[in-house]
Amino acid sequence: MINKKVNTVSEALAGISDGQTIMLGGFGLCGIPENSIAELVRMDVRNLTCISNNAGVDDFGLGLLLQKRQIKKMISSYVGENAEFERQMLSGELEVELTPQGTLAEKCRAAQAGIPAFFTPAGYGTEVAEGKESREFNGKMHILEHAYQADFSIVKAWKGDEAGNLIFKGTARNFNAPMAGAGKITIAEVEELLPAGSLDPNEIHIPGILVQRIFKGAKFEKRIEQRTVRKK
Ligand SMILES: CC(=O)CC(=O)O
pLDDT at 223: 54
78 touches ligand 1 (CB under 6 Å): yes
Q: Which domain CATH number covers 58?
A: 3.40.1080.10
> Higher model confidence: residue 109 or residue 80?
109
Q: Is residue 3 part of a domain?
A: no
- Whether the pLDDT of residue 16 is over 90: the answer is yes
In sequence order, which residues have a C-beta less than 8 Å from that of residue 78 and are 6 or more positions away? 53, 54, 101
Does ipTM top 0.90? yes
- Ramachandran quadrant class, 129 (left: phi over 0; alpha: psi -120 to 50; beta: rest): alpha
Is residue 49 a part of any domain in this protein?
A: yes
Residue 46 neighbours by CB distance under 10 Å: 14
Please report whether residue 91 resides in a domain: yes
Q: DSSP string of 150-178?
A: EEEEEEEEEEEETT--EE--GGGGTTHHH
Contact call for residues 7 and 215 (beta carbons, < 8 A): yes
Please write the tens of the pLDDT for every residue from 31-83. Answer: 999 999 999 999 999 999 999 999 999 999 999 999 999 999 999 999 878 99
Domain that holds residue 52: 13-98+149-216
Domain assignment of residue 222, yes or no = no
Are the CB atoms for 171 and 209 separated by under 8 Å?
A: no
Q: Which atom of ligand 1 is nearest to the CA of 78?
A: 3
60 within ligand 1 shell (Cβ under 6 A): no
3-state secondary structure of 160: strand
194 part of a folded domain: yes
* Ligand 1, atom 5: closest residue by C-alpha: 28
Report the alpha-carbon distance of residue 5 to residue 87 in Å, rounded: 39
Cα-only R_g, the chain: 18
Residue whose CB lies within 8 A of the most ligand 1 atoms, among 77, 98, 99, for a mutation test: 77
Query: With pLDDT > 90 as the criterion, what percentage of the chain qualifies?
Result: 91
Whether residue 81 is contained in a domain is answered as yes
Position with higher pLDDT, 225 vs 15: 15
What is the reported pLDDT for 228? 47
Kind and range of the H or E element at 111? Answer: helix 101-113
**For residue 200, is it within any domain?**
yes
pLDDT value at position 79?
A: 86
What tens digit of pLDDT does each residue of 147-172 get?
A: 999 999 999 999 999 999 999 999 99
**pTM of the complete model:** 0.94
| CA 31 to chain centroid | 10
Of 143, 196, 208, 176, which Cα lies nearest the Cα of 34? 176
Choose the residue to mutate in 78, 223, 230 for probing ligand 1, maximizing ligand atoms within 8 Å of C-beta. 78
Residue 30 lies in a domain: yes
Share of the chain above pLDDT 70, in %: 95
Mean pLDDT, the chain, rounded, equals 95
Any atom of ligand 1 within 6 Å of the Cβ of 63: no
Q: How many domains does the chain have?
A: 1
Instruction: Give which of 48, 49, 25 is closest to 182, Cα–Cα.
Output: 25
Residue 18: pLDDT over 50: yes
> Would you state the pLDDT for residue 188?
98
The residues near 170 (Cβ < 8 Å, ≥ 6 apart) are none
Mean pLDDT for the stretch of residues 107-116: 98
28 pocket-lining for ligand 1 (C-beta < 6 Å): yes
Element (H, E) at 167: strand 166-167
**Alpha carbon distance 71, 94 (integer Å):** 7
